[in-house]
Chains A and B, each alone.
Chain A
Amino acid sequence: MSARAAGSSLRERAGEFGLTRAEYDLVVERLGREPNVTEAGVFGALWSEHCGYKNSKPLLRRLPTQGPQVVQGPGENAGVVDLGEGWAVAFKMESHNHPSAVEPVQGAATGVGGILRDIFAMGARPIAVLDSLRFGELTSPRSRHLLAGVVAGIASYGNAVGVPTVGGEVEVNPCYEENPLVNVMAVGLMRRDALRKGTVGEVGNRLYYVGSKTGRDGLGGAVFASADLSAASEADRPAVQVGDPFMEKLLLEACLEAMEEDLVAGVQDMGAAGLSSSVAEMAYRAGQGVDLHLDRVPRREAGMTPLEVMLSESQERMMLTARPGKEEELKALFARYGLDAVEVGVVRDHGELRLVDAGVVVAAMPVRALNEPPTYVREGVEDPAARAARERDLTGLRPVPDPAAALLALLAAPAVASKEPVYRRFDHQVMTNTVVLPGQADAAVLRVKGTALGIAATVDCNSRYVWLDPRLGAAHAVAEAARNLSCVGAEPLGVTDNLNFGNPTDPAVYHQLEESVAGIAEACLALGTPVTGGNVSLYNQYVEGGAVRAVHPTPTIGMVGVLRDVTRRATQGLKRDGDVLVLLGGGEPTLGGSEYLYRLHGLEAGAPPALDLAAEAALYAAVRGLVAAGVVDTAHDVSVGGLAVCLAEMALTGGRGLTATVPAGAGTGRDVALFGESAGRVVVAVTPEAAGDVEAACVAARVPTARLGASGGDRLVLGVGREERVVDVALAAMSAAWTRTFAEALG
């Protein structure tokens, strides 16, 4: 067969490599010839959405990425922000949605493994993991199966590696029934000057493959992650990798030691698309070429083709660029840990990724072409169903007959219910840095040993808000994260975003993506939190009998912040009887997009709460200032479930009751006052002597305040405006509702 004929037949098969025919033609143009199978496969993987961001890159350019605190912005394995005193924090979030849909235990476990490698590739020691999880309703057996599997997978990996899982969130909605979302964020601590990059460096440098051997597991994972899910996806189970946390632990220690001893000039995780993406990206950043010797790659099984070796997503592998002259020391160090460290490549000035098998060049691809996929700017059109839901008239809505029963129902709703049965499965204290444990506050807090510094971290997204109004909803996710950090007393430093959307070729999905990115950009700019990295996960939709069911657009926001003095911090639980409850901020509650509307009226409808970013910034600064001054040690933001749920959570977490009067809105009903959601509201509990200080500080900061009541007793007693005892419920009854949901789902 002539080369020409072979090429023509490959064009017919472009789809097998994840390329459109037009993209295939572009590959031919960039190569100046027809690609062979190996080349087509490598191009297909690197030009997949997962690696190449071809649908999202033009949008992502709109995100603010600069700030005085940014040490490393987007484009590396993880972002890095400055913490002060010579310390820095590396952090990133990544999805493992499709693997978790077909094999939840390994899907979630390897999600943890991958993000940890991104962190220690920067030279940082991973110190914390947070999870953002989404499933269908927990009444569904499939969703309970997925929840249990994902929790078991995170536990099996994180616990064994010895990195604490300190926080997270769980949302449920029928839209995630077939396509759950598993987003994992990792946080690492480093000396600022220890920063490493994923680069091959200079011509002549040697590349070392370290870690596990390469097998056929995870073959084509990047392409798998960049297609719609369907019943046939079960057949893609081999595209799910298997994790080995013991290997990860050895790899982590060996890599950190190699960096500390200055034996490496560059470090890169082998993540999606394995060897292909790691070597191509490292070469691209350095503007160099690489000869990669496939026959030297440690194999787990015989008979693998060059393409299989290049696309394997076997876990626990890294690519290192040795410091010239330090190669033997590097090998000796890895040998001590019982790990492979094999020279597989050398840096060349030819600008190509050349794959060499037994002395024969089997593929030669320009590094730039591999890393510069075509990008697409599409026309977005708003989803008419979402628009209709948002514009739905809610004025005729009847209030619930029994507000106490409604409160109990909301406390049992998965978005609100205690996640203790989940986080109990995770070691959240290993490394002895966790100052604020899961469930105690709006964000996790870790100390930095030997300093007064604290690191706070949170992950947030209200996907219902985003579905109803993508721009506003995405901005809410950023604001909620910043508010959560501020409620523990931390100053927000930076954002990692995980954009989980459906198929971008659907104009409605593209509209959601475009608007969400705009919303994130607006909020990050206003709140001074640059985006330093993230992950895009598209094609989160399930195809069944021609019908497409996309997930709610879910731009998960991970945010880290700093506490200058970790002993000055706040948690949400009431700590003393007789504390004054003060509401800070002037957010106007609404039922639009609320959990109340969803759980008690079966509606996902109405406009989400308004968001005044300037007012938010003032509120957060005021709360942080009060915590840092030692005036406030108890704070909780008002979010899902409204003020009634906020107060109930403060009571439940602290194990003591309260009596309060919720402000009646002007012309809005009782249920709006109790359960309406808003941005811009925080409740603090302070001693009566300190209440005046809180109010004075808020006057100065132009933040409105209102005294709601006081802590004490073993009941939650709420009035609305002049109406007393609208809700009067025992703490024990609330606790039963609040703790039941996840205990049963995991039971």
Chain B
Amino acid sequence: MDVPSASNTQRGGEPLPPERAALARGRGARDHLSTARAVAVVSFPGSNCDADATHALAAVLGAPVRAVWHDETDLSGALAVVLPGGFSFGDYLRGGALAAHSPVMRAVADFARRGGPVLGICNGFQVLTEAGLLPGQLARNRSLGFECRDVHLRVERAAAPFTGRLAVGQVLRLPIAHGEGAYRADEDTLDRLEGEGLVAFRYCDADGNVTADANVNGSARGIAGVVNAAGNVMGMMPHPERAVEPLLGYEDGRLILGSLLDAVAAAAA
């Protein structure tokens, strides 16, 4: 079956009028809780890319989206889970450290254990490492400051559910916006990630060369995104949800979110 189509979905499949959609929060008010099958976009207090992820998935790519608040524990009906960017709980301690202990994360862990696709973007990546669903952690950028700019990514893994539309070696252009994005893990873990093909993306130059200069935040081995051993949980620092509309100057994010929706459709078939 195809992924059910709905535009501007906010509250469990109920489409929002455009004037509401443009101003929409990432999460709806409390009256959703529909168990309609949908991509679950999780909002923690302080998430600020939840509305963007919803817009990209629903309004642009036509997927059904359900808003999930951090204190919910029921993900039944979820086709996939997206943990968006932002500053969950203010990130005053360490990016994602508090959000990882939210009630919803137990449900996300169960969902992942059952093989459901979970995508963490930026702060969502930090939450996934803090929750132990992905190896490693994200440390302060080499510049010690926030970096909002374009990066090029070399695709290192081309497989469902996140990179099925991509080819290894392909170069993507996406924006980043983070202060703590330097991927860190011990050498054994890094060797294992590389050996098992679990590195999804590396920072590169426009021609696909992985260089020190292109490594925008000082990540270990230039890693911009990784998947777990089962391949169904991915974290990435760049923002695919910001890169789905030519009007905004990007399109490559469609390849990643589109891969996810392909996989969701295939699983539902």
Chain A: residues with CB nearer than 8 A to chain B? 86-87, 125, 152, 155, 159-162, 189-191, 244-247, 249-250, 253, 256-257, 261, 336-338, 423-432, 434-435, 437, 447-451, 566-567
Contacts and interface: CB of A to CB of B under 8 A. Distances in A.
A87 to B, nearest CB: 8
Contacts of A424: 146-149
Interface stretch (B21-29, B73-81, B259-267): B21-29
A432 B248 contact: yes
B149 A431 contact: no
A567 B86 CA distance: 29
B146 A451 contact: no
A246 B46 contact: yes
Given A426-B148, A430-B49, A450 B29 contact: no
B14 to A, nearest CB: 16
Interface string B228-251: 000000000001011001011100
A424 B18 CA distance: 31
Nearest to B27: A253
B247 A447 contact: yes
Interface of B: 8, 18-19, 21-23, 25, 29-30, 45-46, 48-49, 51-52, 55-56, 59, 85-87, 89-92, 145-149, 175, 177, 179, 239, 241-242, 245, 247-249
Contacts of A257: 25, 29
B48 A162 contact: yes
Contact of B48 (A161, A244, A256, A447): A161
A244 B147 contact: no
Nearest to B22: A449
Counting from the closest, the 10 A-B pairs by CB-CB distance are A162-B48, A246-B90, A450-B18, A449-B22, A160-B87, A427-B177, A432-B52, A125-B23, A427-B148, A155-B146
B21 A450 contact: yes
A246 B18 contact: no
Interface centre among B91, B146, B177 (most CB of A within 10 A): B146
B49 A162 contact: yes
A374 B145 CA distance: 47
Contacts of A160: 46, 48, 86-87, 90-91
Nearest to A156: B146
Contact of A449 (B21, B48, B89, B177): B21
Contacts of B55: 432, 449
A190 B23 contact: yes
A567 B18 CA distance: 19
Interface centre among B23, B48, B239 (most CB of A within 10 A): B23
A432 B241 contact: yes
A152 B247 CA distance: 30
26 contacts: A155-B145, A155-B146, A159-B146, A159-B148, A162-B48, A162-B49, A162-B87, A190-B23, A245-B87, A246-B45, A246-B46, A250-B46, A257-B29, A261-B29, A424-B148, A425-B147, A427-B177, A428-B148, A429-B177, A430-B85, A432-B242, A447-B247, A447-B248, A449-B22, A450-B19, A450-B59
A747 to B, nearest CB: 10
Contacts of A245: 87, 90
Given A161-B48, A246-B46, A424-B149, A189 B18 contact: no
A87 B146 CA distance: 33
B22 A450 contact: yes
Contact of A430 (B8, B19, B48, B56): B48
A425 B49 contact: no
Contacts of A567: 247
Nearest to B30: A336
A425 B22 contact: no
A425 B145 contact: yes
Nearest to B48: A162
Given A159-B148, A246-B46, A257-B25, 10 more contacts: A246-B45, A249-B46, A250-B45, A423-B148, A424-B146, A430-B242, A450-B19, A450-B21, A450-B22, A451-B18
A430 B247 CA distance: 15
A736 to B, nearest CB: 16
A567 B246 CA distance: 10
Interface centre among A244, A245, A250, A338 (most CB of B within 10 A): A245
A424 B149 CA distance: 6
Nearest to A191: B19
A44 B190 CA distance: 63
A658 to B, nearest CB: 23
A649 B179 CA distance: 29
A189 B89 contact: no
Contacts of B147: 424-425
Given A86-B19, A155-B145, A449-B59, A431 B52 contact: yes
B203 to A, nearest CB: 15
A125 B22 CA distance: 10
Contacts of A86: 19
Nearest to B50: A162
Contact of A435 (B49, B51, B85, B248): B248
B57 to A, nearest CB: 12
A427 B18 CA distance: 25
Contacts of B245: 432
A428 B179 CA distance: 14
